[in-house]
Structure 1
Amino acid sequence: MATKPVTNFTFEEYLTYDDGTGFHYELVDGRLELINIPTIEHFLIAKFLEQLLDAEIKRLSLLELTFQQTGIRTGRNKSRLTDLCVVTQEQARDLLKASAVFETPPLLSIEVVSPDSIKRDYRHKRSEYAAVGVAEYWIVDPLELKITVLLLEEGFYEETVFTADQKIVSRTFPELAIAPHQIFAAGNL
């Protein structure tokens, strides 16, 4: 495995960094943090959610787009990679020929928890996403079979946990009718 350089990166340097390995990094206080390649279960869940949200966007004729593996700038020298996010077409247009790291908050960010991302998804991203104004954040946890929906209220997240066949309540997609068991079933072959 390639070693990452021990150096302080600016956000601008991070946007153009390529060590030639194909690995993905997040920028945390100027340091590169390697993100492990997710499991197939993780990819299947993210793909299912992307297709579900794309269908809802199309059904409602919204001017929004769903992306996997994009970045969100969460501080001066911080950028997190999302498993899935929903942005306006205008936000995407602004980055059409640039690195896909949004400097304005997405409408919705979704993280699928992996064993190595528990603390990052539940703690770090939660506080960073709230600080930059991500209005809705889902933590999809196949390890615990629960989905935590966080809605931003006066700078802090209000949390609701959904399990089994409870219908998920989303501010971004209020007509969406999906339950956790359906999402987690997508992770099986």
Structure 2
Amino acid sequence: MLLNTMIELKKLHGLSYKDISERSGVSIGTVQKVFGGITSPRAKTLDELSKAFVGLELPNMVAEQTMYSSGTSAIKNNDSSVNPFEKWIPGKQNGDYTIKDYESLPEDVRAELIDGKLFKMEAPSNIHQTIILELALQLKTVIKKRKGSCKVFISPSDVELDEDEPTIVQPDLYIVCNKDMSKDSKRTHGAPDFVAEVVSLSTRIKDKRLKHFKYANAGVREYWIIDPYHESITTYNFEDDDIVSIYSFDDVVPLAIYNGTIKVDFSEIKSELLGTFGTLS
């Protein structure tokens, strides 16, 4: 469970630091530091803290989990028996699809293939696209200024994470430092060094759970989850014992793959969003 979710559950259910400590077995001192934003918890600590919230749910968690289990974020009625890909790929269950099946979809149908399951992707909002474009601009500018060899890509751009698995994803933004991985003009082959996803109400579960797991196991070095609804950026440094850090849209966020020497000023992105839309979400 992500720390942001635990913070929301803590507020919703009125749990004290003592309650969380007793339910999880984590010392009250550590609980205070983690929930007070004084320290960034490691993955093991997050797992232990999550025990305190077993059986507790946010109002939208059940609907999101049902939507996720259906195999597509586009199924609004949460009916897992409905397969929107049947009309293009008849005779298969969603979970048995191959890369060849994925490639047979019409060009105007945007989807991701994860472990043989197709997830239909809705058109991103203007806020979503502004965040990604501003992020890409900052990153590309500083990398180019340093004459770096890493390349910045934005969606829609296919990434085949592992050639042994039927998985092709379209990260919102990713960085590749190995030139051989992006030689194919059709798609990137292998795990990017850096991935950023901007969550929406329809992709929250997929981005925070399924894709987090896939990226970590495929060899992605660093993963950012940008959540405009909670005005937060959660970063995962998979190279350094899965260290988790949480930032706000007022912070300057360092990239671990550059040892913190390259940073993204989210206050500039926030200013652009407020100036254009009057809101962050």
Give the TM-score band, short-chain normalised: 0.7 to 0.9
Query: Which residue in 1 is equivalent to 2:4?
Result: none
1:74 deviates by 4.0
SS of 1:186 mapped into structure 2: helix
Query: Counterpart in 2 of 1:82?
Result: 171
In the alignment, which of 139, 143, 151 is matched to residue 237 of structure 2?
151
The offset of 1:164, in angstroms, is: 4.2
Which residues in structure 2 correspond to 1:83-162 (within 5 Å)? 83-88=172-177, 89-93=179-183, 95-96=184-185, 99-100=186-187, 102-153=188-239, 157-162=242-247
State the SS of the aligned residue for 2:159. strand
CA distance in structure 2 between the partners assigned to 1:105 and 1:183 by the alignment: 27
Superposed CA RMSD: 2.2
Show the counterpart of 1:170: 255
2:113 to 20, 24, 27: 27
Structure with more strand by fraction: 1
Distance in 2 (CA, whole Å) between partners of 1:164 and 1:41 is 14
- Name the counterpart of 2:136: 50
Task: Kindly name which structure, 1 or 2, has the bigger radius of gyration based on alpha carbons.
Answer: 2
Query: Moved runs in structure 1, 4+ residues, more than 4 A?
Result: none
Given that residues 250 and 270 in structure 2 are in contact (C-alpha distance below 8 angstroms), is that contact kept between their aligned partners in structure 1? no
Which deviates more from structure 2 when the two are superposed, residues 22-31 or residues 49-58? 22-31
Match of 2:160 in 1: 73
Q: Partner amino acid for 1:90? A: D
Bigger helix fraction = 2
One-letter code of the match for 1:150? Answer: Y
CA offsets per residue over residues 120-152 of structure 1, 9 Å max, x none?
Answer: 111111111000010011111111101011111
Q: Give the length in aligned residue pairs.
A: 182
- The answer for the alignment partner of 1:11 in structure 2 is 99
Q: Is the 8 A contact 2:233 2:249 kept in 1?
A: no
Give ranges in structure 1 of 5+ residues lacking alignment. Answer: none
CA distance in 1, matches of 2:144, 2:206: 32
Write the letter of the residue equivalent to 2:174: C
User: TM-score by structure 1 length?
Assistant: 0.86
Point out the more displaced range, 38-47 or 168-177: 168-177
Shift of 1:186: 3.1
TM-score (normalizing by structure 2): 0.59
Question: What is the CA–CA distance in structure 2 between the aligned matches of 1:121 and 1:185, rounded to whole Å?
Answer: 25
> What letter is aligned with 2:266?
P
